[in-house]
Structure 1
Amino acid sequence: MLCRLTLTSSLAIAAALPALAEPTFNRISSFATAANMAEGENRARETSAEIMAVTEDGNQLIYSDSPLGVIGMVDITDPKMPKPLGNIAVDGEPTTAVVAGDMAFVGVNTSESFTEPSGTLRSVDLTTKEVVASCDLGGQPDSVAISASGEMIAVAIENERDEDINDAALPQMPAGFVVRLPVVDGAVDCEAKQVVELTGLADVAPEDPEPEFLSFNEAGELVVTLQENNHLVVIGADGNVSADFSAGSVDLEGVDIEDDGKIDPSANLTAVPREPDAVAWIDADHFVTANEGDWNGGSRGFTIWNKDGSVVYDSGTLIDDELMRIGHYPDKRSDNKGGEPEAVITAQYGEQPLIFVASERGSVVFVFDASNPAEPTLLQALPSGIGPEGLVAIPERNLFATANETDLGEDGAARAHVMIYERTEDAASYPTLVAGEGVVGWGALSGLTLDPASPSTLYAVSDSAYGAASAIYTIDTTTTPATITAKTVVTRDGAPAEKLDLEGITTDGEGGFWLASEGNTEKETPHAVLHVDASGAITQEIGLPESLAANEKRFGFEGVALSDGKLWLAVQREWGDDPEGQVKLLQLDPATEEWAAVRYPLESGEGWVGLSELALNGDHLYLIERDNQIGEAAKLKAVTRVALSELTPAALDAELPLVSKETVRDLIPDLQQWNGYVQDKVEGMAIAEDGTVWMVSDNDGVDDASGETYFWSFKLD
């Protein structure tokens, strides 16, 4: 089955609308899964929130935590203040949990090897927090589903392959299958277990089906994805296969297929197998698949199907296009499935049927109105933690929740989280910044400055995450969200300038800009101050003098400002000749290329503390001083200032004066307003004459990061 995809005009219009449909979902809280670990347990240990379910009263979330071998529980009676309920060990690797009454039924992988798979369905009493029964499944379980009546459980026995063998290709025996288990009086009737064989159905490795995900409809029918086999199977309420068909392939026009440090959706892909992962019924006749892809495909989108196998709708490049528009496109995954849609669920909120599609690598959940399955309408994009995989709808409480599996818990990095959203009449709080018409791709914003002729226009730069196409972005702040109206690539000798790590920008007053490039000698990226004209062409490039170069470290220039024809630059952290806890504020005369400096005193803190930006306003130089910590570990994100009268720099070979500073704003409450975890990198700041301060955070190019960019303003006191 091969179909050529073009974006329907109605969907293209809906996706481009600046105002999102009401009502909307907004995140109201986040819960770090490490909080469920017992007192005295090593909370830096890896944990996770993978597939998630909710109790029938809507007050508890249950998620599988593979690294710890437990299911975790969260009390959301007050969804704005989730509370830990602890973990329950399940003696194996939990994959999926479903809930009926006070019981959770958990698929647990107990396999000793790929060739000897095994697993059980454990029954867990949520009141006593004990495993009360186990049922041998005869293989390695993946997805678990429960019927609408609660009278039948189905388990996809994947018996997954060893990806290190034969380039991960099929077949690799033993074959997978589906197990159906009746539930009687709240207990699984293991003796009545029914095995549904799936061999001989798929065109790809028919002898080795690997069922990945399954879902019941109201009539008790099951739809099952065979991801690696690129196939779909419908099992009737009687347990017999009623239909099966290939998931087919797509042609994609205008996608980015290179991991090359730039977002460039100019390539085409032909006959890409969909290889669907998650699946969910929309109504009695239609279901939707998230086409994550695997060893041989991944169409970067989702598909709506009729249960007879006909395609009702395919999203084409929409997911990647939208990720690029909102700054969440993961360029490092361009050569392997792009935004990678993995999870999908459906739910009815009032009269509105909704589809939720999670981009695992873009760390975003897209919400669609599915009133017409042939023309779903994009409503909004929800920010999530890193790697959303478990999605839960709680329409009776107007709530929605995500389980985000990635845990980077070392060195103050982001933890795995459960995030909770509420559907209200309020305006959507995210995204805060989007690309306008004609602007393709952005992210990793690291410096900010004002247009002196237009206080509503700002300019930003991106850092080394897009070092192959470093750019200057023009931002219109009069729209909500703010809009990037132009993208000017920085060029050298007519070609995109490489080996740049832009961290600062200021206008030169004549239509051009001064840029600060942080540098990293180990990566052959020089520390440099650059002048560019209005077209982005480099017209002057100033490197470090020998006295600075002799002591340089990779934590270099962060921010640049122009005062009386001279440039001020902040150095992020101590270099070799700096006393501990002190960094340089450098002054550069671009006309003579002479340097001078003062020293700035840093606060102490966990991890490291350094400077991220500077800006001039009135008789002060303002700076961003921060630690490199995330979430609850973050303690210092602040705006400080130094009086210009103290900025009397000395020559680099002289004793450098130490300035005094004043803290004028704690930025942590600002960063908490989006109700996620506190982001690490507040990196851009610009200040208008009236004291309006604009701030932007660096989303790290969605690389081991949630991809969230916060763009906001406040007034100086």
Structure 2
Amino acid sequence: MTSPRRAVLILTLLLTACAQPGTPGVPPGPVITTTDFTAFDTPQGAGSIRLGRSGRLSVDAEPHFAAVSPDSRVAWVTLQNNNAVATVDIASGTVTDVRSLGLKDHRVPGQGLDASDYDRINIRTWPVQGMYMPDHIAHVAIGGRSYLLTANEGNPRDETLSSSDAVRVGTLTLDPAVFPDAASLQADTALGRLHVSRPDADTDGNGLADRLLSFGGRSVSVWDTDLALVADTGDAIERDLAARTPATFGSEGTISSFDTRSDDRGPEPEAVTTGVIAGRTLAFVGLERAGGIMVFDVSDPTTPTIVDYARFGDPTAAPDSGDAGDLQPDALLFIPATDSPGGQPLLVVSSEVSGSVTLYTVQDTGRLALTGRYQAAPFAFGQGVASMSAYDRTGKRLLVVNRVAAGLDILDLRDVTRPVKTGTLPLASYGRTPTWAAVRPDGLIAVAVETFPKTDPGHVLFLNADGTLRAPPVTVGALPQMLTFTPDGRKVVVVNAGEANSAGTVDPAGSVSILDVSRALAAR
């Protein structure tokens, strides 16, 4: 009998043609292998994985981000809405495992949260469990062992217009056997305003909510490569923000939005990347809602400690004025000193709401020193003008995804104190807009492009330094929102989110594509 996993190997979709037969130096084989999560649709395969309306992981999975092992053999892919991480074998292009990340217990001291936007600052324990629901994930080697770091943003599932994944605790009927103090818990200054998962609230089907699962861990977690939890930062991020920047606590980075996010995922750690500075391993974490970058020392992976917090901007300014500084950092890029134009390690912060790219020098202490900044003009609030940046070390430049221009803005970094825009690589003819870019050390550019509608298959482009096509576009899954070269440069891992349309009537499968670079470049 053929196993489900064997079946998915047989049915793996080959979306583009093979390299031309006889191409010198290029072995025959597929340019791309795309795999989905059909093998985990069985009850045994789904296990404790959080599913959506369909009850099938192949439909409900929406992959978000990938980290790749140093030997280029394994990719770990976050399934944010499913509160899970998938393991992908790169050589075969198959998903070999999907692990639920479990629940975070907010009843435990040190694991609290501020649950209400009506109570100013009130971080404490509550009878709530949090789904980690990470967005970005990073691999790091410490002491000869491999670990995974996740930024536990949280995100409700987009359902149809008549259905919602999220509901406020105050609107639920709580089971009195589990919550004897339901009346006080459901006060607006307690848990009443907190958004929790509607489908996960009633576990025994009696119409009463017997558990409260909130979205996101509001933390950074360290896992081993089998997805066993090594450490979690608990409520340290919220407590640090409350002490450093009380006027903007629970906000979207401005005083005018004070405490508006406490009921809805708090500071939202979204992006995470790592770097080694003066012998210490540091994790840099972008806080999407609170704004700014928090730096953790993870040299001892069992006890992450906060080193610094930095944010550029004027929190008294109106968010859409152009004067509030960096709003919603969406992607982080660490450039080691050996590759940096100025010979110092840099952290590049791309903020899509403010349309800005900010450069920090990472000091030996781990603290961030503001070095340079680029603000897109004209100012386009919340339109994704600078949603991520890729570094081309051969040209000492940043390639910045500009969703308004449907292209890659080029920033000259030869003077790191003054990033200067020198042009744009237009990509609109290949789809609606680019979503992510990566640059191989030799300067080869890979770009993920979504199409219209977003439920249609997207594309990956391979470009020369001047933006001309190096090879024909490669068709991948729906909404390719992230890609990365493997460390050996031979493959590209593409994360295809497969999000449903706004009405919920079309929901393509989430998937992962593995592209063979040499075969793609040899294709005609």
Q: How does 1:310-709 map onto structure 2 within 5 Å? A: 310-315=420-425, 318-321=426-429, 323=430, 329=431, 339-348=432-441, 352-361=442-451, 363-370=458-465, 375-380=466-471, 381-396=473-488, 398-407=490-499, 414-424=508-518, 428-429=522-523
1:58 aligns to what SS in structure 2?
A: coil
Q: 2:32 is aligned with what amino acid?
A: I
Partner Cα distance (1:23, 1:271) in 2: 48
In the alignment, is the contact (CA less than 8 A) between 2:355 and 2:387 conserved in 1? no
Q: CA deviation at 1:54?
A: 0.6
Q: CA deviation at 1:105?
A: 0.2
Q: 1:210 is aligned with what amino acid?
A: Q
Residue 178 of structure 1 corresponds to 293
In the alignment, is the contact (CA less than 8 A) between 1:273 and 1:299 conserved in 2? no
Deviations 1:45-97 (A, max 9, x none): 51121111111221111111122011111122xx2352422223153221110
Residue 32 of structure 2 corresponds to 28
Partner Cα distance (2:422, 2:303) in 1: 38
Deviations 1:264-286 (A, max 9, x none): xxxxxx99977111112212842
Residue 226 of structure 1 corresponds to 351
User: In structure 2, which of residues 76, 80, 84 is the aligned counterpart of residue 66 of structure 1?
Assistant: 80
Q: 1:228 is aligned with what amino acid?
A: V
Residue 201 of structure 2 corresponds to none
Cα 1:233–1:188 shift into 2, 3 Å: farther
Partner Cα distance (1:22, 1:224) in 2: 41
Q: CA deviation at 1:412?
A: 10
Task: Return the structure number with greater strand share.
Answer: 1
1:152 aligns with 2:282: yes
1:109 aligns to what SS in structure 2?
A: coil
Q: CA deviation at 1:177?
A: 1.1
Cα 1:23–1:319 shift into 2, 3 Å: farther
Q: CA deviation at 1:146?
A: 1.7
Deviations 1:10-66 (A, max 9, x none): xxxxxxxxx9x9999963322103435662634255112111111122111111112
Partner Cα distance (2:349, 2:73) in 1: 29
Partner Cα distance (2:350, 2:132) in 1: 24
Residue 151 of structure 2 corresponds to 107
Deviations 1:514-544 (A, max 9, x none): xxxxxxxxxxxxxxxxxxxxxxxxxxxxxxx
**What 5-or-longer segments of structure 1 have no aligned partner?**
1-18, 160-174, 251-269, 293-297, 324-328, 330-338, 430-479, 481-717
1:119 aligns to what SS in structure 2?
A: coil
Cα 1:74–1:411 shift into 2, 3 Å: farther
In the alignment, is the contact (CA less than 8 A) between 2:34 and 2:476 conserved in 1? no
Q: 2:92 is aligned with what amino acid?
A: K
1:244 aligns to what SS in structure 2?
A: strand
Q: CA deviation at 1:148?
A: 6.4
1:39 aligns to what SS in structure 2?
A: helix
Number of residue pairs the alignment of both structures matches: 343
Residue 39 of structure 1 corresponds to 44
Residue 132 of structure 1 corresponds to 230
Q: 1:123 is aligned with what amino acid?
A: V
Residue 514 of structure 1 corresponds to none
In the alignment, is the contact (CA less than 8 A) between 2:132 and 2:216 conserved in 1? no
2:298 aligns to what SS in structure 1?
A: strand
Q: 2:137 is aligned with what amino acid?
A: A
Q: CA deviation at 1:424?
A: 2.6
Residue 94 of structure 2 corresponds to 82
Partner Cα distance (2:506, 2:328) in 1: 38
In the alignment, is the contact (CA less than 8 A) between 1:205 and 1:229 conserved in 2? no
Deviations 1:641-698 (A, max 9, x none): xxxxxxxxxxxxxxxxxxxxxxxxxxxxxxxxxxxxxxxxxxxxxxxxxxxxxxxxxx
In the alignment, is the contact (CA less than 8 A) between 1:54 and 1:62 conserved in 2? yes
In the alignment, is the contact (CA less than 8 A) between 2:353 and 2:384 conserved in 1? no
Residue 282 of structure 1 corresponds to 392
Residue 686 of structure 1 corresponds to none
Q: 1:74 is aligned with what amino acid?
A: V
Q: CA deviation at 1:194?
A: 1.2
Partner Cα distance (1:387, 1:23) in 2: 32
Cα 1:58–1:248 shift into 2, 3 Å: same
Q: CA deviation at 1:180?
A: 1.3
Q: CA deviation at 1:198?
A: 2.0
Q: CA deviation at 1:124?
A: 1.0
Q: CA deviation at 1:414?
A: 3.6
Deviations 1:240-279 (A, max 9, x none): 11112312249xxxxxxxxxxxxxxxxxxx9997711111
Cα 1:344–1:113 shift into 2, 3 Å: farther
1:306 aligns with 2:416: no
Partner Cα distance (1:427, 1:132) in 2: 41
Partner Cα distance (2:407, 2:270) in 1: 22
Residue 122 of structure 1 corresponds to 221
Q: CA deviation at 1:377?
A: 3.4
**What 5-or-longer segments of structure 2 have no aligned partner?**
1-19, 47-54, 103-130, 156-193, 197-214, 239-266, 338-344, 453-457
Partner Cα distance (2:520, 2:34) in 1: 19
Partner Cα distance (1:22, 1:52) in 2: 32
**Aligned residues with identical type, % of pairs:** 15
2:488 aligns to what SS in structure 1?
A: helix
1:95 aligns with 2:135: yes
Partner Cα distance (1:207, 1:218) in 2: 25
Residue 327 of structure 2 corresponds to 209
Partner Cα distance (2:306, 2:375) in 1: 31
1:229 aligns to what SS in structure 2?
A: coil
In the alignment, is the contact (CA less than 8 A) between 1:49 and 1:390 conserved in 2? no
* TM-score, structure 2 normalization: 0.58
In the alignment, is the contact (CA less than 8 A) between 2:221 and 2:229 conserved in 1? yes
Cα 1:188–1:209 shift into 2, 3 Å: farther
Deviations 1:108-147 (A, max 9, x none): 0258569x997111111114x3112101433211211122
Larger Rg: 1
Q: CA deviation at 1:407?
A: 4.8
Q: CA deviation at 1:415?
A: 1.1
In the alignment, is the contact (CA less than 8 A) between 1:364 and 1:382 conserved in 2? yes
Deviations 1:397-441 (A, max 9, x none): 611110100155999974111011112357755xxxxxxxxxxxx
Q: 2:292 is aligned with what amino acid?
A: F
In the alignment, is the contact (CA less than 8 A) between 1:22 and 1:427 conserved in 2? no
Aligned-CA RMSD value = 3.6
